[in-house]
Structure 1
Amino acid sequence: MASRASRDVLRRGLSVLGLAIREQPRIFAVAVAGSVVFGVMVIASAYVVGAVVGDVVVPAIARGSVAVGALALAAAALFGLSVLRVVGIFGRRLGAGFMQFRLQAAYRRRVTRRYLDLPLSWHQRNATGTLLSNANSDVEAAWHPIAPLPFAVGTLVMLVGAIISLFVTDWALALVGLAVFPALFTLNVVYSRRMAPRQQRAQRLRAEVSGIAHESFDGALVVKTMGREAQETARFAARTGQLRDALISVGRLRGLFDPLLETLPSLGTLAVLVVGAVRLRQGAITVTELVSVAFLFTVLAFPVRAIGWVLAELPRSVAGWERVRRVLDATGEMPYGDVTLDPADPRPATLGFADVHFAYEPAEAHLPGTQVLGEVTFTVPAGRTVALVGPTGAGKSTIASLAVRLVDARSGTVTLDGVDVRRLTAGSLAGTVALVAQVPFVFDDTVRANIALDRPGIGDEEVWAALRLAEADGFVAALPDGLDTMVGERGASLSGGQRQRLTLARALAGRPRLLVLDDATSAVDPRVEAAILAGLRSGDPDTPATSILVVAYRRATIALADEVIYLEQGRVVARGTHPELLATVPGYADLVTAYEQAEAEGEQAGGPGGPPRPYEPVIPLNSGLDVEVDR
């Protein structure tokens, strides 16, 4: 079984190398040509050195004088061969390096583009650290054997030429070569088979260590506030200890085989000298031929190792390639259509849900999916504000994701201005709809860059207008460098409410025709939140003409909506105005009143911004999410 697995690794590894050659044939040809030139010059050098020793050095010793002309000719020949070897080395290394780094860059881009094409459900099933490892260390591992590959191909040409030269020189010396070279190959094959499982395990553990590290860093606030430093340290230490042991196992195997691979050519050289001395005494060969063959064995020791390097790296290459291929072959992308909404249309958009059903895909294929929405039908009329209200798990955030097409409905349709969102182009959808999510994300950049995002037509004037609408212009103006202030990683220098207002300003700067707020002002003071929503409905010429779908909890926010949709267990239970639902739907009245009472009690207790909602989502300890209030 182990032998079959090793042969399979060799076969798959060679197929990966074949793919690399097919993708970069010209560069590979340049690198191999350089390697072949080097190999031919190595063989030529052996015979030139033999000729120098046999025809110049030995006669000079016999005569007690040196022929200057012969010595100059020998020096010129050696110098010329050295120059050609340098040219070969330069071509080989430049071509191999260019090919390797070009493949790595190309596949990092392919993996990243694939990440962008794959739906949100796929990303939710894969840890961020693993995805980072796929795009970085796995791509690097997949193409790592490319560096020695042209050298190895040139070495094969050199070995064939060397064996032919040995037979031309003397059959006995050729038999020594035929014994040494297969032994080298056999040793390399055994080495590759033993190394394969070790390299695969080490590559897998690299990804796991990356995943744990990313998760711990991302959830640093939760780890610190919950006192989980020791547990997280122990979790990371356990996996890094396994990676250390795996790499030590790889090192031990290399420590065992490397001396053998180094010694075998030296033993071959010794055997050549012994056999050659006998053949020289018999008169079968000359001193020139003996020196040439001995020198050839000496210089062949290093190039032959190139074949071993390729074979040794194949297991790691296969492991990396299979992890990369898993991403490239992943299914479930969300292709866009070819319908474009008029980008110059100043009117607010109309959002429609018609008999929408949705279930999240399971983490494992054999498990059933989690049904979230069923028979959801409603409309957000142009220019109107609709509030989604419901307990945790009712499907509010899923509806927000469907509205901006982060996910697609299993059945039913979601439309913008009567057009199925699946038929819209990516640019049209992004230019029409903007989502402000529950957890604000701020880039480690300036305030200006975070809001403008290099979008055309958004200058400082538009940035300040969006900040004013998001009630963020005051605190931005008070920052040390205003719009040029660096906000730190994930906006670390800002409060939760300030981050939420920046992300709201980012969405408003693009003047969307539909704005989806998924509890996007939960960390903002209620008075500021009311001012923001009132500003969006003011009808001011500087305010984008937009329809609003808002996931709301506070009574003041809900009261501003033209219509409220009340959800329970993924279904629309009731719809109407806020006063109508308070009077006719007990579950709605209990939910809104409970939060209002809890908020009032928090304010009386001096809490900054009120207590957590009684139905606040449970946040996993390692999720990296945090709930903050405005400073």
Structure 2
Amino acid sequence: MPGRRFGPDVAAEPPVRPADPAVRRANLRRIFPLFRAYRARLAVVCGLIVVSAALGVVPTFLLRAVLDSALPRSSGGEVRLGLLTALVAGMVAIPVVTGAIGVFQTLLSNQVGQAVMHDLRTSVYRHLQRLSLAFFTRTRTGEVQSRIANDIGGIDTVVTSTATSVLSNVTTVLATVVAMVLLDWRLAAFALVLLPLFVWLTKRVGDQRKKVTAKRQASLADVSSIVQESLSVSGILLGKTMGRSADLARRFSEESRRLADLEVRSRMTGRWMMAAIQMTFAVMPALVYWFAGWTIAQGSAAISLGTLVAFTTLQTRLFFPIGSLLGVQLEVQSSLALFDRIFEYLDQPVDIVEGSRTIERARGDVAFEHVCFRYDTDAWTLTDVSFTVPAGTKTALVGETGSGKTTCGYLVARLYDATTGRVTIDGIDVRELTFATLAAAVGVVSQETYLFHETVRENLRFAKPDATDEEVEEAARAAQIHDLIASLPEGYDTKVGERGYRFSGGEKQRIAIARTVLRNPPILVLDEATSALDAQTERLVQEALERLAAGRTTIAIAHRLSTVRDADQIVVLDGGRVAERGSHDELIAAGGRYARLVARDAESAVTMAGSG
């Protein structure tokens, strides 16, 4: 639908099942191992189902005995009261026993099903956590949420109860068919002759519903994405300030209407066909009576009244599980597309594989050795970048927007891997280190500050869950934010609001700096760490950072060249290459790229001062 989306580009076509039959079969085979860890409980469930199905057909034989043996054949006949009492007692006891078995079996099957749902949700979440930043930069947040919530939620019924329902219905059908044949094979053949036709018709309905379900899930993902994007604090601010609130509401209304139409189509697909099948099931007992009369009229062996009544009772019992099986087939067919979407995420390649080496406490020596990098198949972002950052020193990365400064910082933290060349910490390739070692060694404060909708204290403790209140406050003091937090009515227990919107940009930046300080990493990557601060606050934070940088390796990425004049080394990037390297004074004296950047900054500062 044109104009429907306003987030990052995604595929417009709804997901469908893979065209390759081998892929479809492979995905189907992946469903069964989900239950492997719960084999013992499933075995108990299966045993209870078989016992329940076997007991379920017994009352029909008791009914035949009641009509043919216990009750008189004529108005003057004798009632065999003792036999009648025993038969009726059996007919009463069996439903009680099967009911109790059914309750226990339902409990076990739901426990297993919910455990499988938990495992599946956790597997998807953990796998997504292992993917590189590149995956999330090209995928809408709403799409990820939809896969975990809507798609996995969509298979809830199938996973929690359908498997046991299928087994229960199959055993019931088999037991009933066997009992029908034992009662009278002629009636059984007549009653079951149309069953293959019903199965074929139901398969066709399942194929149709599967296609509609795929489109419905894609629409659900779009609705989730629109809600996530437009009803976040940022989305509300953007919509109101741009005067687009009505347009956003219209877009949501269009997508919601599309989803509603797909829901109707999904629920109505094949309903006429299923109604015809149900009607046929309903009239079959009457046809059986006719067939029994016709058989007797042809001179065949007589069919007793008890056999006929018991048979039609069994037949009625047969129709419900067959109808359920046909409906289950539709449900399973509809859910296969959802499993495919879930497996699609689980099959996303993990392009950043954890290493095995550890470092007790990194010294902080960082080196880029002939590093080249590009995002997917795009143009090269970095080309043959080489420089070293000795432990305890400060290196500034400067250059135009898009020159590769932030990418260098991300490579140190291993949010991406170098395409060629290597980045090392203490002489060890970062690809060889464990994630825990990297997280302990490298702290990143980016220009995109993110705070959870939690208290200030919990946001700070995210960096170090076992930190004491004293350590939290000390980190806040180092980032020049303690006094502000302490002045709030609830102090460190103040909720920051979604993405920290209760605080200004500079305040959020200082909270993020405090969070990194609390981790106490030997290597700091400051990606425009003071970009959101005013001049006075920036000076305070710069003083704090200078104190913190003592004894640490600091890689500072900045557009404001005034913040990096004191760096031990300045690396100037131009078009992804190292254009110059040296101290501030050395680069000014060289009169090259850095000197021109400084001159341009000075002109901009004069212009801004004049306009002010």
Decide whether the 8 Å contact of 2:463 with 2:518 is kept in 1: no
Match of 1:618 in 2: none
Q: Amino acid of the residue matched to residue 292 of structure 1?
A: A
Give me the whole-angstrom Cα distance separating, in 1, the residues matched to 2:409 and 2:247. 36
User: Counterparts of 1:109-188 in structure 2 under 5 Å?
Assistant: 109-142=122-155, 144-146=157-159, 147-188=161-202
> Of 50, 63, 69, which aligns to 1:36?
50
Shift of 1:64: 9.3
Secondary structure class of the residue paired with 2:503: coil
How many angstroms apart in 2 are the aligned matches of 1:602 and 1:45?
94
CA positional deviation for 1:602 = 5.0
Match of 1:571 in 2: 577
Instruction: Tell me the amino acid that sits aligned with residue 54 of structure 2.
Output: V
Q: Of 78, 90, 105, which residue of structure 2 is paired with 1:77?
A: 90
Mapped contact 1:511–1:544 kept (Cα < 8 A): no
**Is the CA contact (8 Å cut-off) linking 1:118 and 1:331 kept in structure 2?**
yes
Separation of aligned partners in 2, 1:596 and 1:7: 65
Answering whether residue 59 of structure 2 is matched by residue 59 of structure 1, we say: no
Q: Unpaired segments of 5 or more residues in structure 2?
A: 1-15
Distance 1:108 1:521, change over 3 A: same
1: CA distance, partners of 2:166 / 2:498 = 46
Aligned-residue offset at 1:573: 0.9
Tell me the residue number matched to 1:47: 61
2:173–2:321: 8 Å Cα contact kept in structure 1?
A: no
CA displacement at 1:229 relative to structure 2:
2.5
- Aligned equivalents of 1:128 and 1:52: distance in 2? 66
| Deviation of the 1:144 alpha carbon | 4.0
Deviation at 1:295, TM superposition (A): 0.8
Change (3 A) 1:383 1:265: same
Q: CA deviation at 1:71?
A: 4.9
CA offsets 1:428-486 (integer angstroms, 9 cap, x no match)? 11111100111100011111111112735521111111101111111111111111111
Mapped pair 1:402 → 2:408:
no
* 1:75-106 residue CA offsets vs partner (Å, 9 max, x unmatched): 42122211222134224423332232222211
State the Cα distance separating 1:231 from its structure 2 match: 3.6
Query: How many residue pairs align between the two structures?
Result: 591
Q: Deviations over 1:24-69 (max 9, x none)?
A: 433433333333233222211222233334445x539835997664
- Asked if structure 1 preserves the Cα contact closer than 8 Å seen for 2:210 and 2:334, the reply is yes
Considering only aligned residues, what root-mean-square deviation do their CA atoms show, in Å?
3.0
1:229 pairs with 2:245: yes
Within a 5 Å distance, the mapping from 1:553-564 to structure 2 comes to: 553-564=559-570
CA distance in 2, matches of 1:332, 1:73: 67
CA distance in 2, matches of 1:317, 1:517: 47
* TM-score w.r.t. length of structure 1: 0.86
Distance (Å, rounded) in 2 between the aligned partners of 1:456 and 1:154: 48
The corresponding residue for 1:297 is 315
The letter for the 1-side match of 2:147 is: N
Tell me the distance in 2 between the aligned counterparts of 1:270 and 1:327. Answer: 52
TM-score, length of structure 2 as denominator length: 0.88
Checking the alignment, whether the CA contact within 8 Å between 1:176 and 1:271 is kept in structure 2 is no
Code of the aligned partner of 1:294: T
Q: Deviations over 1:195-254 (max 9, x none)?
A: 222222222332233233323335413333233334433433333333222222112215
Q: 1:103·1:143 contact (CA, 8 Å) conserved in 2?
A: no
Aligned-pair distance for 1:574?
1.2
Q: Could you say which residue in structure 1 is the equivalent of 2:367? A: 352
Preserved contact between residue 6 and residue 196 of structure 1 (Cα < 8 Å): no
Q: Name whichever of 504-513 and 373-382 sits farther off.
A: 373-382
* Conserved? CA contact 1:336–1:422, under 8 Å: yes
Over 3 Å counting, the alpha-carbon distance change for 1:5 and 1:65 in structure 2 is: farther
Structure 1 pair 36/453, CA: closer, same or farther in 2 (3 Å)? same
Q: Which residue of 2 aligns with 1:324?
A: 342
Q: How does 1:532-551 map to 2 (within 5 A)?
A: 532-538=541-547, 545-551=551-557
Q: Secondary structure at the match of 2:356?
A: coil
Q: Which runs of 5+ in 1 are unaligned?
A: 362-367, 607-631
Q: Percent of aligned pairs with the same residue?
A: 30
Q: Retained in 1: the 8 A contact 2:402–2:575?
A: yes
Inter-CA distance 288–592: structure 2 relative to 1 (3 Å threshold): farther
What is the SS of the residue equivalent to 1:538? helix
1:458–1:603 CA distance, 2 compared to 1 (3 A): farther
Aligned partner of 2:225 in structure 1 is 211
1:408 to partner: Cα distance:
0.7
